[in-house]
């Protein structure tokens, strides 16, 4: 039986019905008076299909579709799946953290941070699909899936065709068209609150248009600008500079910066500042440790209450109050530098002790060898190990000596720090400079305090 015959139709039961196939060889069907002569037709079908060479998809229970009796149907191919872009950066794997089995609803991870050289996304290849068969057993090729192209934006690069990598620290941003970028500047349009959760940002600058509300944390590798206030029980950690245009308040709030801290008003909070502290209005009952200088010259220009220590100097309009509120300020006092110095001295002493023990060990080995009148391979290996350790420790101590010398020079410069009061320094204000201290018994005006001959001395400002 020829294929052309099947296209035109092979008669069944003297013209009662005809057997045909579709042009794509996917179906064989009978048309005509199929319902009236169904049983008779079905008795003829197996032989006709065998004669036609139709071997695939023969219907055990043929069905009538649109008046046609389908007796064989091929196996359709399964088209391949398109390739896709899979986001694999660690930030996409993070779920809401749990503590003691409870979800932390403040940790929403809305900013998808990425580190420099971290893999952001992988290109997953398309699949080829699964072939089908027509009713004659011929293969029907599937449509293979298509590759999904990367759309690289800023601060990303494509590696080995199928890997997208961040070229800098920042936050991942994916545009509607699929473009993937790493942003080194990020803006939060309102407050940091339950709608944002805690904020963590790896990039160069973070801008918060509102306030940081009570109980929330902001962590940033770079600079942070907060347009409004920092409220109660807030933690802000900035690797660079921090600018707060409103108020930093509450004794349960803690600020830490690697650079400068600039704010409008500072009340009761704690601050650890790696650069300078500049308060544009007043500083009330603060607990601050500042590596650089402190300046409170704008607005009220007042420092009242609290304990403020700095490695550099201080400039303010007024210190303390007419009510003699206890106020402590210390210039030329860098707690972090001194702590680092003391830690280095302790390490150097520990290395010196180890070095002494190694030298003693070498001497003992030499005495034993001398008493025996011969050298052993066991002692030779031990001496080699001890000599290697001696060289390594000696080099480390030499490096430490340079570091210690540098820190001692810096500590020595601290005695040059001054405290300048351009208005009034009130009674019960304690001024500490380097290693000396002075508590005022009465108010003084327009005065500069400095360290001289082991004491805090004052002179009138010009």
Assess contact for 169 and 184: CB atoms under 8 A. Answer: yes
- On the question of pLDDT at 135 being above 90, the answer is yes
**Contacts (Cβ under 8 Å, ≥6 apart) of 231:** 211, 212, 213, 214, 249, 250, 253
Distance CA 392, CA 384 (A): 12
pLDDT of residue 105: 65
Q: How many Å from the N-terminal Cα to the C-terminal Cα in the chain?
A: 120
pLDDT of residue 412: 67
Task: Enumerate long-range contacts of 208-214, CB under 8 Å, 24 or more apart.
Answer: 211/246, 212/236, 214/250
Q: Summarize pLDDT for 12-65 with one digit per residue, the tens.
A: 988 899 999 999 999 999 999 988 888 998 999 999 999 999 999 999 989 888
pLDDT given at position 103: 56
Q: For the chain, give the percent of residues with pLDDT over 90.
A: 73
What pLDDT is attached to residue 366?
86
Chain position carrying tokens 């930093």: 248
Tell me the average pLDDT across 145-160: 95
Q: Give the pLDDT confidence score for residue 315 in this predicted structure.
A: 96
**What integer pLDDT is reported at residue 96 of this predicted model?**
42
pLDDT at 65: 86
**8 Å CB contact between 248 and 232:** no
The full DSSP string for 246-279 is EEE--TT-EEEESS-EEEEEEES-EEEESS-EEE
Report residue 442's pLDDT band, with 50, 70 and 90 as the boundaries: very high
pLDDT of 413 > 70? The answer is: no
Domains, the chain, in order of start with CATH, read 3-73 (no CATH), 81-128+144-183 (no CATH), 185-335+417-460 (no CATH), 336-414 (1.10.287)
CA distance 187 to 209: 7
* pLDDT tens, position by position, 319-368: 999 999 999 999 988 777 777 778 888 998 999 999 999 999 888 888 88
**For residue 376, what pLDDT band results from cuts at 50, 70 and 90?**
confident
- Asked if 216 contacts 198 with a C-beta cutoff of 8 angstroms, the reply is yes
**Residue 338 confidence (pLDDT):** 75
pLDDT-derived band at 98 (thresholds 50, 70, 90) equals: very low
Residue 302's Cβ-side half-sphere holds a number of Cα atoms within 13 Å equal to 14
pLDDT digits (tens, 9 = 90+) for 208-243: 999 999 999 999 999 999 999 999 999 999 999 999
């Amino acid at each position: 039986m020829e294929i052309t015959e099947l296209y035109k139709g092979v008669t069944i039961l003297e013209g009662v019905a005809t057997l045909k196939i579709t042009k794509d060889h996917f179906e064989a069907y009978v048309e005509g008076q199929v319902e009236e002569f169904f049983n008779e037709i079905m008795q003829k079908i197996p032989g006709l299909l065998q004669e036609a060479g139709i071997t695939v998809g023969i219907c055990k229970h043929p069905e009538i579709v649109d008046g046609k009796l389908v007796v064989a149907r091929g196996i359709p191919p399964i088209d391949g799946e398109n390739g896709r872009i899979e986001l694999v950066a660690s930030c996409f794997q993070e779920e809401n953290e749990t503590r003691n089995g409870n979800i932390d609803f403040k940790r929403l991870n809305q900013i998808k941070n990425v580190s420099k050289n971290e893999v952001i996304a992988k290109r997953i290849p398309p699949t080829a699909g699964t072939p089908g068969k027509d009713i004659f057993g011929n293969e029907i090729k599937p449509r293979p899936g298509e590759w999904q192209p990367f759309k690289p934006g800023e601060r990303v690069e494509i590696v080995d065709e199928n890997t997208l990598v961040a070229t800098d620290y920042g936050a991942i941003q994916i545009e509607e068209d699929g473009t993937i970028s790493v942003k080194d500047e990020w803006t939060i349009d309102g407050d940091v609150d339950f709608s944002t959760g805690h904020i963590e940002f790896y990039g160069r600058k973070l801008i918060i248009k509102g306030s940081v509300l009570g109980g929330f944390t902001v962590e940033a590798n770079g600079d942070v600008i907060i347009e409004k206030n920092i409220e109660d029980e807030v933690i802000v950690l900035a690797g660079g500079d921090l600018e707060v245009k409103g108020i930093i308040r509450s004794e349960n709030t803690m600020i830490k910066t690697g650079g400068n801290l600039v704010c409008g008003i500072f009340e009761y909070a704690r601050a650890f500042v790696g650069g300078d502290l500049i308060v544009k209005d007043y500083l009330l009952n603060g607990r601050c440790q500042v590596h650089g200088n402190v300046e409170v010259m704008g607005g009220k220009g007042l420092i009242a209450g609290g304990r403020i220590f700095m490695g550099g100097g201080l400039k303010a309009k007024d210190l303390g109050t007419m009510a003699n509120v206890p106020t402590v300020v210390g210039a030329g006092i860098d707690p972090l530098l001194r702590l680092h110095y003391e830690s280095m001295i302790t390490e150097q002493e520990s290395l010196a002790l180890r070095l002494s023990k190694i030298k003693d060990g070498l001497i003992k080995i030499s005495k034993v060898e001398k008493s025996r009148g011969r050298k052993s391979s066991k002692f030779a290996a031990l001496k080699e190990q001890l000599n290697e350790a001696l060289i390594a420790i000696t080099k480390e101590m030499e490096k430490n000596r340079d570091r210690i010398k540098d820190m001692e020079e810096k500590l020595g410069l601290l005695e040059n720090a001054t405290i300048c009061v351009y208005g009034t320094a009130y009674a019960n204000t304690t001024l500490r400079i380097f290693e000396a201290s002075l508590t005022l018994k009465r108010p003084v005006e327009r005065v500069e305090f400095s360290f001289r001959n082991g004491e805090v001395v004052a002179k009138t400002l010009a």
